[in-house]
Structure 1
Amino acid sequence: MIDLPFLLAEEIEGGLFDFNGTLPLMALQFLTLMVLLNTIFYKPVTKVLDERDEYIRTTLTTASSMLVKADELAAKYEEDLSEARRNAQLKIASSQKEAQNIVSEDIKKAQLNAEKLIAEASKQLNVQKEEALKTLENQVDTLSDQIKVKLLSSQS
Structure 2
Amino acid sequence: MIYLTFLLAGETAEEVGKGGLFDFNATLPLMVLQFLVLMTVLNFIFYKPIAKVLDEREEYVRTSLTTASANLLQADQLTARYEDDLAIARKEAQQIISQSKKEAQEIVTQRLQEAQKEAEKLVVAASAQLNEQKENALKTLESQVDTLSNQIKSKLLVS
Could you tell me the TM-score, scaled by structure 1's length? 0.69
Deviation of 1:84 after TM superposition, in Å, equals 4.4
Give the distance between the partners of 1:45 and 1:144, measured in 2 at CA: 140
- Pick aligned residue for 2:49 from 39, 44, 56: 44
Question: Aligned pair 1:18/2:14, yes or no?
Answer: no
Match of 2:122 in 1: 117
Pairwise mapping of residues 3-152 of structure 1 onto structure 2 (< 5 A)?
3=10, 12-70=17-75, 72-73=77-78, 76-77=81-82, 80-81=85-86, 83-85=88-90, 87-152=92-157
Displacement of 1:55: 2.1
Distance 2:22 2:139 in 1: 158
Query: Cα RMSD between the aligned structures?
Result: 3.3
Once residues 41 and 24 of structure 1 are traced to their aligned partners in structure 2, the CA distance between those partners, rounded to angstroms, is: 25
- The one-letter code matched in structure 2 to 1:56 is V
CA distance in 2 between counterparts of 1:40 and 1:78 reads 57
Letter in 2 for 1:107: L
Residues 50-87 of structure 1, C-alpha deviations (whole Å, 9 max, x = no match): 11222233334434444554455455555555654554
Aligned partners of 1:127 and 1:17: how far apart in 2?
Answer: 147
Q: Which runs of 5+ in 2 are unaligned?
A: 1-5
Between Structure 1 and Structure 2, how many residues are aligned? 151
Q: Which structure has the higher relative contact order (CA within 8 Å, separation 6+)?
A: 2
Aligned with 2:46: secondary structure? helix
Residue 105 of structure 2 aligns with an amino acid whose one-letter code is Q
Q: Could you state the TM-score of these two structures normalised by the residue count of structure 2?
A: 0.68
* Residues in 2 aligned to 1:17 and 1:144: alpha-carbon distance in whole angstroms: 169
Aligned to 2:3: none
Q: Distance in 1 between matches of 2:140 and 2:17?
A: 168
The alpha-carbon deviation at position 113 of structure 1 amounts to: 0.5
Q: Which has the higher helix share?
A: 2
* Mapped partners of 2:33, 2:50: distance in 1: 24
Cα distance in 2 between the residues matched to 1:72 and 1:86? 21
Percent sequence identity over matched residues?
62
Consecutive aligned runs of 4 or more in structure 1 exceeding 6 Å deviation: none
